[in-house]
Amino acid sequence: MKRSLITAALLAIAVQIIPLPAAAEDKAVVDAMESYLDFVDYGGATIFPEQIPKDDWKKFFVIDARDKEQFTKEHIPGAVNIEWRRTLAERSRIPKDKPVLLYCNTGSLSAQAGFALRVAGYENVRILQGGFAEWKAKGGLDAAEKATAPAKH
């Protein structure tokens, strides 16, 4: 226990003293991000829950980008759990031949994961606007049907 605390303290000091190479200094990384930003659509590949008819959900490879605990508690049916930080590391699990839909609680972390995937060449990625919270509030899998239903007076 004492040895691991000493090791952790030395690593923390080393990180502060010895600067790690920043991705921003890697011209290829910066060029890829710049190229993506030049041509990405205004919405950044977002899609609203009410834009997806119930039968179309099965056409998506749905990724719940939240942590395992949140995923286990509740998630969109059929979703797989790949935490947002792990999307690039686990990209071999993510298909390029069908639409991919990423979500987190509100859409901000899944947007970061989606950005990384899009820069890495995944043009089939969409972000669920508003995340799980908005999906639930708008009716879940029935959001499209509820959005187009006649108003009840």
Rg of the chain (C-alpha set): 19
Strand order through the sheet with 61-64: 46-47, 125-128, 100-103, 61-64, 80-81
Report the pLDDT value the prediction gives residue 11, as an integer from 0 to 100: 38
Q: What is the pLDDT of residues 11-52, one digit of tens each?
A: 344 444 445 455 556 777 676 666 655 555 555 578 999 999
Range name among 1-5, 50-54, 118-122 with the lowest pLDDT average: 1-5
Q: What is the pLDDT of residues 50-100, one digit of tens each?
A: 999 999 999 999 999 999 999 999 999 999 999 999 999 999 999 999 999
Q: How many whole angstroms separate alpha carbon 107 and alpha carbon 46?
A: 9
Report the pLDDT value the prediction gives residue 38, as an integer from 0 to 100: 55
Kind of pairing between the strands at 100-103 and 80-81: unpaired
